[in-house]
Amino acid sequence: MIIRVNESEMMQAAIIHSQSWKASHTGICSPEFIELHTPEHQRQYLENAVAKGAELYMLVDRGPVGIVSVNGSLIENLYVLPQEQNKGYGTQLLMFAVNKCNNTPSLWILNSNQGAKRLYERNGFCPTGNVVHHKDGLFELELAFKI
């Protein structure tokens, strides 16, 4: 079941975000930067996203499993708990988010996140050619949904 996150679920969404973000960014970011992403920090991040118009959703299956947010046609914050990955939850959240978009769905991923890239491409997303460069050879790629 996918529910819209309200204030009472926000900390659980932040815990999912924190654990998943740390797992996906280990080896990319410094240990000091990784440790900044506590549940409290991620709660503030998610609350700010909602305040700016994002709709935040949580997938629950015997307990909270993953989150995703949609702002217009931009899909963000798709995170599944590390121990719950590769069970179809990411695909379920992604397709839910695609259906919530009000135009062509798009998203951004780090070039080093090959697992996410495979998930998105397997589900109809293609690179647009838009890139944002960061330091140390990292960059983000924009992907858009192609029917």
Global pTM reads 0.91
Which DSSP helix (H) or strand (E) runs through 13? helix 10-25
pLDDT tens profile 55-83: 999 999 999 999 999 999 999 999 999 99
| Residue 21 near residue 42 (C-beta atoms within 8 A) | yes
pLDDT at 136 over 80: no
pLDDT bucket at 14, cuts 50 / 70 / 90: very high
pLDDT tens profile 28-62: 778 898 899 999 999 999 999 999 999 999 999 99
Mean pLDDT of the chain: 93
pLDDT tens profile 97-113: 999 999 999 999 988 88
Residues with Cβ within 8 Å of residue 104, at least 6 apart in sequence: 73, 144, 145
Distances, alpha carbon 59 to alpha carbons 8, 33, 95, 110, in Å: 15, 27, 12, 23
Percent over 70 (pLDDT), the chain: 99
Hunting for tokens 């924190």 — which residue is that?
A: 18
